[in-house]
Amino acid sequence: MALLRYAYYPGCASHEITKEANETTIVVAARLGIELVDMPKANCCGAGLLTDYDYPLSLALNARIFAEAESLGLDIMTICSTCLMVMNTANRDLRNSPELLEKTNAILARTGLRYGGNVKIKQLLWVLAGDYGIGNLKKQVVKPLNWIKAAPFYGCHSLRPSDALGFDDPMKPWSLEAVIEALGAESVDFKGKTKCCGFQIDLVDEETAAKMTATRLLDGKGKGANCFVTPCPFCHINLDNYQSLAEKAASKKISMPIFHLAQLVGLALGLSSGEMKLSRHLVSPEKIIK
């Protein structure tokens, strides 16, 4: 297989709050032979909030990120679904309209940067299910996770809008299930798997956010999942950090361990729960680790 190299964009959440997602991705990528090149200059994608603030500014800030990857001659790999959605939506608009690209480059001009429109943005899930390949991933598994029944929680931003993202099908997604099964675990289907975790309004309407998180968790639990796995750190924050708020909103004990995608992969590659930083979670996954 050709060497896989990406400009690595963990996203703001995984620099700090969910840094275990970043640290375990680095370990897992190294184990799989995927090379991640740092982007020390990269700014925040805006997480959608800068799109609300000022669209041309948001495009220019995203173009600055793309320009850094372009100068490295690499595509971007992120581990955040919201970054994935925001960056791909910006990239779609820039690539579809030479006029918009020109306008955006005019904003960048003072910095000496220029984006040519040639970068692709992927997330870890796509890299595993696509470039790396499910077959190759299977070959790397040394500890099949055959006692795990994982609810594949895509959340909303890894699938929609599909005209900007394109990799998977929002009505019939397959990539996360395929990775879970490649690791020897069982994937548990549930309707809420591609819906919102509530993160975007945590600070605006806590009540709705907590109810939404509870609805997703109870949905997967009701279908027999013993854990959730998500490719998105924001989903992880709501499903894990804020699970106690969700329990309060639903007046129900939920006790559902939530894995970052890289952690579940790492466990199947034979890495320890210490190496996978599981003690950083608020709902301990230790009890379902063998």
Task: Please state whether the peptide bond connecting residue 161 to the residue before it is cis, i.e. omega within 30 degrees of 0.
Answer: yes
- C-alpha dihedral (94, 154, 48, 245), degrees to nearest 10: 180
34: which strand partners?
A: 4
Helix axes 261-268, 19-32, angle to 10 degrees: 40
Q: Taking CB under 8 A as the rule, does residue 85 contact another protein?
A: yes
Asked if 281 touches another protein (CB under 8 A), the answer is yes
Q: Which of 30, 33, 35, 54 binds another protein (CB under 8 A)?
A: 54
Q: Does 205 bind another protein (CB under 8 A)?
A: yes
Out of 56, 73, 130, 270, point to the residue binding another protein (CB under 8 A): 56
Q: Which is nearer to another protein, 63 or 148 (CB)?
A: 63
Q: Which is nearer to another protein, 87 or 185 (CB)?
A: 87
Residue 71: CB minimum distance to another protein, A = 12
Options 74, 84, 113, 185; binder of another protein; rule CB under 8 A: 113
Do residues 87 and 132 lie in contact, with contact meaning Cβ atoms separated by under 8 Å? Answer: no
**Measured distance CA(270)–CA(97) in Å, rounded:** 47
Instruction: State the number of binding residues for another protein (CB under 8 A).
Output: 64
Binding mask 162-191 for another protein (x = CB under 8 A): x-------xxx------------------x
How far apart (Å, rounded) are the C-alpha atoms in residues 18 and 260?
9
Residue 250 is a binding residue for another protein (CB under 8 A): no
Cβ neighbours for 107, distance < 8 A, ≥ 6 positions apart: 56, 57, 60
Smallest separation, CB 198 to another protein (Å): 7
Q: What is the DSSP letter of 232?
A: -
Q: Is 13 in the site for another protein (CB under 8 A)?
A: yes
Q: In what order do the strands lie in the sheet with 34-38?
A: 34-38, 4-9, 76-78, 121-123
Nearest of 114, 80, 37 to residue 231 by alpha carbon = 80
Does 152 help bind another protein (rule: CB under 8 A)? no
Candidate ranges 22-30, 180-188, 205-213, 265-273; the one touching another protein (CB under 8 A)? 205-213
User: For residue 117, what are the contacts with CB-CB under 8 A and spacing of at least 6?
Assistant: 91, 94, 95, 101
Q: Which stretch binds another protein (CB under 8 A): 116-124, 143-151, 153-161, 259-267?
A: 153-161
Query: Cα separation of 265 and 26, whole Å?
Result: 12
x-or-dash pattern for another protein, window 227-246, by CB under 8 A? --------------x--xx-
**Positions that interact with another protein (CB under 8 A):** 12-13, 15-17, 40-44, 46-57, 60-61, 64, 85, 103, 106-111, 113, 156-157, 160-162, 170-172, 191, 195-196, 198-201, 203-205, 208-209, 211-212, 215, 241, 244-245, 279-282
